[in-house]
Amino acid sequence: MLGKAVNELQRDVIIADNEVTGTLKYINGYVGFSSNVSEQSGNYLALKIDAEPVEAKTVVELVGGTKGPVTLDEDRNIVLLIKNKDTQSIKVTITHDKESITKTYGLSGLTLERE
């Protein structure tokens, strides 16, 4: 997952009731995430988004982030840089046969470790 194992980035991450909880470790020098130096340190959330059917198009957006919507490839893995758990959220849109379902997940239940 972009050069890091999930357990290097986080622990006890659970998604329930449209809220993400758990602890995001502070990572320094994560060059596999971005070539932009300002995005190589911080708290990263690694997710695998399961969708049915498997050929459904899955788009993930970190609301309040800098990248905009990202269409996932077939492994359905994504790593997000979380800068403010209280103002950011994750929006997931799954589209299949012209039908879309969008869900938004809050991040205020996360604990962000510091350096």
> At 81, which CATH number?
2.60.40
Report the alpha-carbon distance of residue 108 to residue 63 in Å, rounded: 13
Q: What is the pTM of this model?
A: 0.92
Which residues of the chain fall short of a pLDDT of 50?
A: none
* Domain contains 54: yes
Note the pLDDT tens digit of each residue in 3-19: 678 899 999 999 999 99
Q: Which helix (H) or strand (E) holds 7?
A: helix 6-9
- pLDDT in the model for residue 4: 79
| Nearest-10 Cα torsion for 108, 31, 51, 90 | 30
Q: Do the beta carbons of residue 92 and residue 59 sit within 8 Å?
A: yes
Which residues span the domain enclosing 44? Answer: 6-112
* Domain contains 1: no
